Each structure stands twice: as structure tokens, then as C-alpha cells.
Structure 1
Amino acid sequence: MSRLQLEEVRKSFINGDTEEEVLKGVNLTLREGEVTALIGASGSGKSTLLTIAAGLQRLSEGRVIFGDQNLPDLSSEQVRKIRAQHFGFVFQNSHLVPFLTVEEQLSMMMDIADMKGIKQYKQTKIKEILDQVGMSHRLTAYPSSLSGGEKQRVAVARAIIHEPEILFADEPTASLDSTRSRHTMELIQQLTKSFDMTTLTVTHDEEMLDYVDCIVKMSDGKIVNA
């Protein structure tokens, strides 16, 4: 089933006296339970497309349909609430808050997603997610004591603690060695299936394509195969 639909998406930037069109009428459908990878050369429009799909920047023309809503038609506050409650994000760097423990990182995300609940519920939920990513033994650890792979696993746990419908992952393995990269993509693949999420990832690493269901190649602001 379709989870997110992009229709004739265009994005232009003003560069001095000229207008540069970065996305040129992109159409893409993302489905439940699938990992879709955006690939292509630098400057092909991959990350721009991901950020527009995620409501992180406005498009110039087109539609981004989530459920029965077109994101460009909504206010900034309405889009923010959708991101907080229905989307999850993993980036190249983990972006963990340095003064929060692993448990506190996830608790903060639950609050942002308005999943405050009672303390016991939050603790149980956090323990369950950390078990799934193999990090429950690091519950009280601070980011400074974690390895690169451990930080990224915590980042993945934080991204899915509120059970989002869609996970956006922008170069999630770029800062990791090959072994940790494979472990991270295996984890994202497994969680996508077990939570029936929709995952859109950008990657330059062809080895990571073994863990995706759909490969979408971009060139010069267009999809050249899907």
C-alpha cells in the first residue's frame, strides 16, 4: 500500500541572477514495509528530494501526499506536528545530545512526539526498543562513551521510539566503517519490516543496496529509473 506519494515535484533555487532548477518534475511512490534507496552522483537532487518528502523544506511546485493531506498546503506548525508524530529521522552523524544518557535521548523524543504517558510506560517502551537495536545494556551511558556504531544504533532507536510511519535516513552509514555500515543497514531493514514502516534512504555506498527493496537512481534532478 502507498504510504507517501510525490507528484511532479519541482524545486528551484536562486543563485545570483539565475534560477537553478534542482528537481525537475519528480514522481515517486513509497510503500509500506519497504526500504527505498535514492542513489546518484553528488548534485543529482537526492538529499533535496528526501528533505522535501520529509517536510523539512518547501517545494516550488508539485504535491507531497501523506495520508489524505498534501504537505505543501499545510501550515509550518501542521507540518511540524506531522514530522514529530509520524516521521523518524536518521542522519550521517548521530546528532545525540551530549549531556543526555541513552535513556534520556529516547525519552526526549517521546515527549516531542507527544507520547508523554506515565513513567513506567516510557521506561518499558524504551527498554523494548533498545533491546531490538542491541543497546539495552547502555541505558545509562552518555554519547561520549559510545562507539560510532553504538551511537548510530541509539540514533535509529530514537528515530523509531514513537513508531513512525515513515523513516528518513540521509547517508546513515557514511561515517561508519564497512562492518558497522552493514550492521546499521541490517538493523534499518529489520525494523522497517517488523514495524511495517516505510523507509527512504540516501546512500552513495553500493554495498548497502543489498538491504533495500527498491533502488531509485537520480540524475540532473530527475529519476532515471525506479
Structure 2
Amino acid sequence: MTIFTIDDVKKTFRNGEVEEQVLKGINLSLQEGEITALVGASGSGKSTILTIAAGLQQASTGQVLFKGKNLTEMSQEQIRAIRASEFGFVFQSSHLVPFLTVQEQLLLMLNVSETKMNKQQQKEEVEKILQLVDMHHRRDAYPASLSGGEKQRVAIARAIIHKPKMLFADEPTASLDSERSRDVMTLIRDLTKTLNITTLMVTHDEEMLPYADRIITMKDGLVI
């Protein structure tokens, strides 16, 4: 089932008197429970389309439809509410809060996303997710004591704990070695299938492409 549609999206940036068209009319549909990988050279527009799809910046023209709702017609407050409840994010850096333990990172996310759980239910959900990402044994650890792969596992757990329908992953393995990259991509693939999440991922690492259901190549602001 199609859950996300990008319809003729264009993006132009202005630098003084000069306009640069970064996206030249992107059409893309994302299917529920699939991983779609965006690939292409630096400057091809892949990260721009991801941030527009995630509501982090606006398209110049075109539509972004999530579950039939047009994000481009919504207020910033409405988009923020959807991001908090329906979207999860994983970036190249884990961006963990240095003074919070692993389980505290996840509890904070549950509070930010305004899930309707009492404190006991939140704790139970944290335990469940940590088991799912094989980090339960590190639940009381602080980020400084975690390896790069462990930090990214916690970041993934934080991204999915509120049960989003969309996961946006921007170069999620770029800071990891090959072995840890494979571990993280296996985890993302398994969670996408187990939890029926739709994942849109930007990557430059060809070794990660076999984990994707679809590969979309971009060049000069176009899908090729």
C-alpha cells in the first residue's frame, strides 16, 4: 500500500541574485513496509528530497502526501505534530544526550512524542524496544561508554519507540566501519519488516544497497 507520495516536487534556493534549482520535479511513491534507498553523487538532491519529505523544509512547488494528507498545505504546527507522532529520524551521528542513560534517552522521546502512556507503560515499552535492538544489557549506560555501533542502535531505538509509520535515515552508517554498518542495516531492515515501518534512506555506501527493497538513483535534481 502506498503510504507516502512525492508529486512533482521542485526546490529552488536563492543565493543573492542567483537562483539554483536543486530539485527539478521529483515523483516518488513509498510503499508500506519497504526500505527505499536514495543514491547519487554529492549535490544530486537526495538529502534535499529527504528533508522535504520529512517536513524539515518546504518544497518550492509540488505536493508531499502522507497517508493521503497534503503536508504542503499544513501549518508548521500541524507538520511538527505529525513529525513527533508519525515520523522517526536516524542521522549519521547518533545525537544522544550525553547526560542521559540509554533508557532515559528513550523515555525522553516518549514524552516528546506525547504518547498516551502512563509511566509504567513507558518503562515497559522501553524494555521491549531495548530487547528488540539488543541493547537491554546497556540500559543504564551513558553515551560516552558506548561504541559507535551501540550508539547508533540506541538512536534507532529512539527513532522507533513511539511506533512511527515513517523512518527517515540520512547516511545512518557513514560514521561506522563495515561490520558495524552491516549490523545497523540488518537492524533497520528487520525493524522495517517487523514493525511495518516505511523507511526512506539516503546512502552513498553501495554495500548497504542490498538491504533496500528499492533503489532510486538521483542526478542533478532528477530521478534517473
State whether TM-score is above 0.5: yes
Provide the aligned C-alpha RMSD in A.
Answer: 0.6
Q: How many residues align?
A: 224
SS at match of 2:141: coil
Listed one character per residue, the Cα deviations across residues 144-172 of structure 1 (whole Å, up to 9, x for unaligned) are 01000000000000000001000000000
- Give the Å deviation of 1:72: 1.1
Distance 1:77 1:141 in 2: 34
Deviation (angstroms), 1:20: 0.3
Which amino acid in 2 is paired with 1:221? Answer: G
Task: Find the counterpart in structure 1 of residue 66 from structure 2.
Answer: 66
Deviating beyond 2 angstroms after TM superposition, the runs of 4 or more aligned structure 1 residues are none
Q: CA deviation at 1:127?
A: 0.6
Contact 1:101 1:142 in 2 (8 A): yes
Distance 1:66 1:109 in 2: 22
Written as runs of structure 1 = structure 2, the 5 A alignment for 1:77-156 is: 77-156=77-156
Is 1:216 aligned to 2:216, yes or no?
yes
Separation in structure 2 between the aligned mates of residue 167 and residue 67 of structure 1, nearest angstrom: 14
Amino acid aligned to 1:37: A
Q: Structure 1: how far apart are the matches of 2:116 and 2:101?
A: 18
- In structure 2, the partner of 1:177 is 177
Are the equivalent residues in 2 in contact too, given 1:171–1:204 (CA < 8 A)?
A: yes
Contact 1:116 1:122 in 2 (8 A): no
Q: Which residue does the alignment assign to 2:3?
A: 3
Aligned to 1:38: 38
Q: Structure 1 counterpart of 2:118, which letter?
A: I
Equivalent residue number for residue 23 of structure 1? 23
**1:13 Cα shift?**
0.2
Fraction of identical pairs, as percent = 62
**1:189 counterpart = 2:189:** yes
How far did residue 116 of structure 1 move?
5.0
Question: Structure 1 CA distance, aligned partners of 2:196 and 2:117?
Answer: 23
CA distance in 2, matches of 1:54, 1:152: 20
Distance across 1 between alignment mates of 2:150 and 2:111 = 23
Deviation at 1:68, TM superposition (A): 2.5
TM-score, normalised with respect to structure 1: 0.98
Quote the Cα distance in structure 2 between the aligned partners of 1:163 and 1:20.
Answer: 37
Which ranges of structure 2 fall in alignment gaps of 5 or more residues? none
Give per-residue Cα distances to partners, 1:24-81, cap 9 Å, x unaligned.
0100000011000000000000000000000000110000001121111000000000
